[in-house]
Chains A and B, each alone.
Chain A
Amino acid sequence: MPAVQETIDQVRGIDIDQYKYGFETVIEVDKAPKGLSEDIIRFISAKKQEPDWMLEWRLDAYKRWLTMEEPTWARVEYPKIDFNDIYYYAAPKNVTGPVSLDEVDPELLRTYEKLGIPLREQEILAGVQTSKVAVDAVFDSVSVVTTFKKELQKAGVIFMSISEAIREHPELIKQYLGSVVPTTDNYYATLNAAVFTDGSFVFVPKGVRCPMELSTYFRINEKNTGQFERTLIIAEEGAYVSYLEGCTAPQRDENQLHAAVVELVALDDAEIKYSTVQNWFPGDKEGKGGIYNFVTKRGDCRGARSKISWTQVETGSAITWKYPSCILRGDDSRGEFYSIAVSNGHQQIDSGTKMIHLGKNTSSRIISKGISAGVSQNTYRGQVSIHRRAENARNFTNCDSLLIGDKCGAHTVPYIEAKNQSAQIEHEATTSKISDDQKFYAMQRGIPEEEAIALIVNGFVKDVIQQLPMEFAVEAQKLIGISLEGSVG
């Protein structure tokens, strides 16, 4: 398996806390004053040239947020966040309105190059990459460039930043924004509704199979900024789209806040595949710095026979609080969740999913693989709920945890609720360490210990890696290798 060898090389080649994406881009930035108030929200809305109804929507959310309390049920610990000590808007200067790639600050392009994000369509077309991926790149608070727009337009697919969509497709935004994650949903989602600055908007019309993978790359660059992006993906009847999301941030001592909301809507027979490789800065060896990742992701299988599938590889962030969910409203709809969560150092992960079965003959599948190393805490928290009228609902859940080292913790907290007699729910969870037998078997065939462990870990996460689009699968495997370095042997 060449990928395994690659992982090993990555592990060897890189120093312990050398977060590869920890560099900072020096660039002129347009920032709102620090802090959060109605004025800041007006400022963001004005910067984005938003219509009045959007501003009202934000202000309503803000008022609501002021009355809410920060949730404390997750198994994560962190000092109290001062929400007034954060910049809620930071944008690279010179980016106003839609831009072509030539107008983008070359410094920014270099940043994305360093990150390995293909923004230059020509290169891709010239065959540098084997398959085409359209990218929306979000830098701090704004989307800097969206590639392949024209080609997508031909197919009728709308792929643009959400700020543009608010201006250009207000009818779609009004109809769908907040229809899956309402502004009142939870503390962080409400905060996001008030201050979100950018994100991606995807609309795939009836019967269209999106001709290429869509992708967004998020980067937090500025100090003390929070990133609040909002993504909305709509697949009309019979449509199909696969969407990838990646994230990085510079290495800093302070903690930075990321509170995103992702909403997916699948109508009759539509399918949405959403994949994430989350690699925010996890903090250094002593647990200093890192991103607080409080994300609300939810898909609504609104139509009959619709399908939403979440795949995530979580290796970054100091704290992850994230539960990509599926509301299986349409009859015969299907939800899937595949997750690899790797925690090392002082990372804390509390992540999982929710499968809410409302329609008849709905089914869901959850495969979660947690790997903890160092002094990290890794929690799977998932809910499967079969409502009264969800005849013949099916769920299968498998969550396995692997512990590397005796200072870390692995926890599993499933919530299973059945209210219909015909429900069929199966849940299984295991926790173990890499078995000595497996390791011995590999080593006595001449494989060094470190490689043997990498081999076993790769086998452990295989079920999930297989769900990722090919380009991401390779990246994900490398990331897992890097995340686990220093914990092996």
Chain B
Amino acid sequence: MNIQANQPAAKLTVAETALVEAFSAQIGDLPGNGAVAGTRDRLLDDLKTAGLPTRRIESWHYTDLKNLLRSVPEQVAGTKVSSIAPLVKGSTVLPVLQGAAHADAEIDGVTITAFRDQLSDGSAVAGLTALDKDDAIGRLNGSFVRDGLALIIPANAEIEDVIELQASHGEGQIHTRFPVSFGAGSKATIVERHRSETDAAALVSSISDLTLEDGAEITWIILQQQGAADTHLAQIRVKLGAEAKLRLYVVNAGGKLVRQELRIEVQGEGAELTLRGVNLLGGDTHTDVTLVLGHNVPHTNSTETFRNVVFDKASGVFQGMIRVAPDAQKTDAKMACNTLLMSDDGDFSVKPELEIFADDVICGHGATVADIDRNHLFYLMARGVPENKARAMLVNAFVAEIVEELEEDKLVEPLEEIISAWLDKHA
């Protein structure tokens, strides 16, 4: 109650109170110099004043976090977790275990630093700010972040082996950051993976901050496999320089309450974004993928395709806003979001937005929500495939198509395996 005494007007929910109390309890223990501590205080103050977002806030219309986040797990000390084999054979694994980074691996030319060191010396402070007044994830993560991994890939470096940032955790709270900068002309493939080892609830907030300098060609794969009781609040911030090419693949196959924000700013002419997403939703879960893509300069391209499958009582959201700035002529942006609704108890909401201030552009979006095509089903069943198997094949094909666009077998095969395994379990 002593917390509310400072803020007599705002009535905090159980989860909000728990967050505020958790922050008070950690003061002095959270890494960071004076500037970082000051920023943390401000962010938490903002979080306290604004509260967790409700559906009245347009960008949170379909994810009423205040209502959905009923409680916050306590910080658990001494949870032991270990890393597992990487998604792609031969990858260099950089583990983050229960929120603590292990930055001792060596990759030729790549500077790897634990994010806690950047907090301690204050160099992280600029990145800690929230992106806008409704950026609850930015505030939450900025207040509580303890560690993560910071990577610098030098100009023209070509990293052969896949790098896997592997965040494993058990119950409790985990707040991590992954600032990664790719030098001009560099090439690399990175897997960002979030997994849990127990079914006990965890609250995870994670922000990846990607900067692609001119001409960098990067593949970034996010694989979210959190536990059935977990809350996953993530943000991927991306800045694309001139002629930079980013292939961003997002696979969501876990979590109880997931909000994943992709905030991408295309800032250099000739830049190209290929964004693909697969959302596998089952059980009694809520998953929200929100994309805000700014085309800020002329002559940039992007394509976005999302495939969603909804089983059981799952509820899914895709919001995709493409913003074309006044002078960003010759922008070519195409977005598609296709959903298979496999259950009458599940639901899916789509809000693909176009916000266009330049006239010489080609922008479009398409969205469909449907059941499996009966003709396709009939085709398979007429050839002796039992119905349930035929359905599974069609669902698999629907999402696998997206993954196959990665083309490299070493990436496609393990992702397909994960998708198949998930579908076997839920379909």
CA distance A424 to B370 in the complex (A): 5
B354 near A417 with CB under 8 A, answer no
Contacting residues, chain B, for A416 (C-beta < 8 A): 349-351, 367, 369
Judging by beta carbons under 8 Å apart, are B368 and A425 in contact? yes
CB-defined contacts of B362 to chain A, threshold 8 Å: 430-432
CB-nearest residue of chain A relative to B350?
Answer: A416
User: Binary interface profile of A, 404-448, with partner B (CB < 8 Å = 1, else 0)?
Assistant: 111111111111111111111111111111000000000000000
List B contacts of A417 (CB < 8 A).
Answer: 347-350
28 contacts between A and B (CB under 8 A): A73-B58, A401-B354, A404-B359, A407-B326, A413-B353, A414-B352, A415-B61, A415-B350, A416-B367, A417-B347, A417-B350, A418-B349, A421-B341, A421-B342, A421-B371, A422-B371, A423-B369, A425-B368, A426-B366, A427-B368, A428-B366, A429-B352, A429-B354, A430-B363, A431-B361, A432-B362, A433-B359, A433-B361
The 8 Å CB contact of B365, one of A418, A425, A429, A433, is: A429
Whether the Cβ atoms of B351 and A415 lie closer than 8 Å is: yes
- For A433, what are the chain B residues with a Cβ–Cβ distance below 8 Å? 359-361
A290-B359 Cα distance, complex, nearest whole Å: 26
Q: Which 10 A-B pairs have the closest CB atoms?
A: A403-B359, A430-B364, A418-B369, A416-B350, A419-B347, A412-B354, A427-B367, A425-B369, A433-B359, A417-B349
A448 to B363, CA, bound (A): 28
Interface residue? A388 (CB, 8 A): yes
Which residues of A have CB within 8 Å of B409?
none
Closest CB of chain A to B1's CB: distance in Å? 31
CB distance from A457 to the nearest CB of B (A): 14
A428 touches B365 (CB 8 A): yes
Interface residues on B, range: 35 or more
- The answer to whether B359 and A406 have CB atoms under 8 Å apart is yes
B358 touches A (CB below 8 Å): yes
Task: Check A425 against B367 for contact (C-beta < 8 Å).
Answer: yes
Q: Is the pair A418, B339 in contact by a Cβ cutoff of 8 Å?
A: yes
Please tell me if the beta carbons of A411 and B358 are within 8 angstroms of each other in the complex.
no
Nearest Cβ on chain A to B176's Cβ, whole angstroms: 33
The residue that A410 contacts in the complex, of B326, B327, B354, with Cβ under 8 A, is B354
B355 at the interface (CB under 8 A from A): yes
Nearest CB on A from B133, distance (A): 14
- Chain B residue numbers with a CB within 8 Å of A404 are 359
* Known pairs A405-B359, A427-B368, A428-B364 / 5 extra A-B pairs, C-beta < 8 Å: A403-B358, A414-B367, A417-B347, A417-B349, A425-B369
Residue of B whose beta carbon sits closest to that of A75 = B355
Query: Given A423-B369, A425-B368, A431-B364: A413 and B348 within 8 A (CB)?
Result: no
Which residues from B are CB-within-8-Å of A401? 354, 356
Q: How distant is the Cα of A388 from the Cα of B351 in the complex, in angstroms?
A: 19
Q: Whole-angstrom distance between the alpha carbons of A388 and B344 in the complex?
A: 7
Contact size range, A = 35 or more
Verify A432–B354 contact, CB threshold 8 A: no
Looking at chain B's contact residues, the main secondary structure is strand
**A interface residues (Cβ-Cβ under 8 A, vs B):** 73, 386, 388, 401, 403-433
Residue of B nearest to A425 (CB): B369
Given known A406-B326, A424-B370, A427-B366, contact A415–B361 (CB-CB < 8 A): no
On chain B, the residues within 8 Å of A424 by CB distance are 369-371
Whether the pair B359, A408 counts as a contact (CB closer than 8 A) is yes
Cα of A431 to Cα of B362 in the assembled complex, Å: 6
> Does B379 make an interface contact (CB < 8 A)?
no
Which residues of A have CB within 8 Å of B378?
A: none
List of A residues within 8 angstroms of B367 by Cβ:
414, 416, 425-428
Q: Is the interface of A mostly helix, strand, loop or mixed?
A: strand
Q: How close is B56's CB to chain A, nearest CB, in angstroms?
A: 9
Tell me if B368 and A431 are in contact (CB < 8 A): no
Residues of A within 8 A of B329 (CB): 406
- Name the residue of chain A whose CB is nearest to the CB of B336: A428
Q: Which of B357, B368, B371 contacts A409, CB < 8 Å? A: B357
A413 to B356, CA, bound (A): 11
Asked if B364 and A429 sit within 8 Å, CB to CB, the answer is yes
Set A405, A412, A427, A431: member contacting B350, Cβ < 8 A = A427
Shortest CB–CB separation between residue A405 and chain B, in angstroms? Answer: 6
Residues in chain B within 8 A of chain A (CB atoms): 58, 61, 326-327, 329, 339, 341-344, 346-371
Chain A residue at minimum C-beta to C-beta distance from B365? A429
Complex CA–CA separation, A408 to B360 (angstroms): 11
In the docked arrangement, what's the CA distance between A420 and B345, Å?
7
CA distance A414 to B366 in the complex (A): 11
Query: For A406, A407, A421, which residue has the most chain B Cβ atoms within 10 angstroms?
Result: A421
CA distance A413 to B354 in the complex (A): 7
Nearest chain A CB to B330's CB is how many angstroms away? 11
* Beta-carbon contact of B356 and A426 below 8 Å: no
User: Could you tell me the distance between the alpha carbons of A422 and B349 in the complex, rounded to whole angstroms?
Assistant: 15
Residue in contact with B356 in the complex, picked from A407, A411, A420, A423, CB distance below 8 Å: A411
List residues of chain B with CB within 8 A of the CB of A418: 339, 341, 347-349, 369
Q: Which residue of chain B has the shortest Cβ distance to A432 in the bound complex?
A: B362
The verdict on A425 contacting B361 (CB below 8 Å), with A411-B355, A414-B352, A418-B339 known, is no
Instruction: Out of B327, B348, B352, B361, name the residue touching A432 (CB < 8 Å).
Output: B361
Whole-angstrom distance between the Cβ of B312 and the nearest chain A Cβ: 12
Chain A residue numbers with a CB within 8 Å of B342 are: 421
CB B254 to nearest CB in A, in angstroms, measures 23
Nearest-CB distance from B31 to chain A (Å)? 40
- Given A404-B359, A431-B354: A423 in contact with B364 (beta carbons within 8 A): no
Min C-beta distance of B15 to chain A, whole Å? 26
A481: shortest Cβ distance to chain B, in Å?
20
Cβ contacts under 8 Å, B346 to chain A: 419, 421
Contacts of B360 in A (CB 8 A): 406, 433
- How far does the Cβ of A348 sit from chain B's closest Cβ, in whole Å? 14
| CB-CB nearest in chain A for B348 | A418
Partner pick for A420 among B341, B350, B355, B361, CB 8 A cutoff: B341
Nearest chain B CB to A357 CB, angstrom units: 12
* Complex: A288 Cα to B5 Cα, angstroms: 49
- Whether the pair A427, B352 counts as a contact (CB closer than 8 A) is yes
- B370 surroundings in chain A (CB, below 8 A): 423-425
Give the chain A neighbours of B371 by CB distance below 8 A: 421-424
| B352 contacts across to A, CB distance below 8 A | 412, 414, 427, 429
* CA gap between A428 and B327 in the complex, in Å: 25
**B420, chain A: closest CB distance, angstroms:** 22
Please indicate the chain B residues that have their CB under 8 angstroms from the CB of A408 in the complex: 357, 359
Nearest CB of chain A from residue B309's CB, rounded to whole Å: 12
A429 cross-chain contacts in B, Cβ below 8 A: 352, 354, 364-366
Rounded to whole angstroms, the CA-CA distance of A426 and B363 in the bound complex is 17
The residue of chain A having its C-beta at the shortest distance from the C-beta of B61 within the complex is A415
Q: Give, as a whole number of angstroms, the nearest-CB distance from A159 to chain B.
A: 41
* Closest chain A residue, CB of each to CB of B360: A433
Chain A residues near B363 (CB-CB < 8 A)? 430-432
CB pair A413 B351 closer than 8 Å = yes
Contact A412–B349 (Cβ < 8 Å): no
**Chain B residue nearest in CB terms to A395:** B369
Q: How far is the CB of A69 from chain B (nearest CB, A)?
A: 11
Looking across the interface, which residue of chain B has its beta carbon closest to that of A404? B359
- Bound together, the chains give a CA A409 to CA B349 distance in angstroms of 25
Question: For residue A387, which residue of chain B has the nearest CB?
Answer: B347
Kindly state the separation between the CA atoms of A410 and B364 in the bound complex, as whole angstroms.
Answer: 12
Give complex CA distance A419, B371 in Å: 12
| Cα–Cα distance between A433 and B356 once the two chains are bound (Å) | 11
* Chain A residue contacts of B368, Cβ below 8 A: 425-427
Nearest B residue (CB) for A389: B344
A411 to B353, Cβ gap below 8 A? yes
Contact between A421 and B353 (Cβ–Cβ < 8 Å)?
Answer: no
Give complex CA distance A431, B366 in Å.
12
> Given the complex of chains A and B, what is the CA–CA distance between A414 and B341 in angstroms?
19
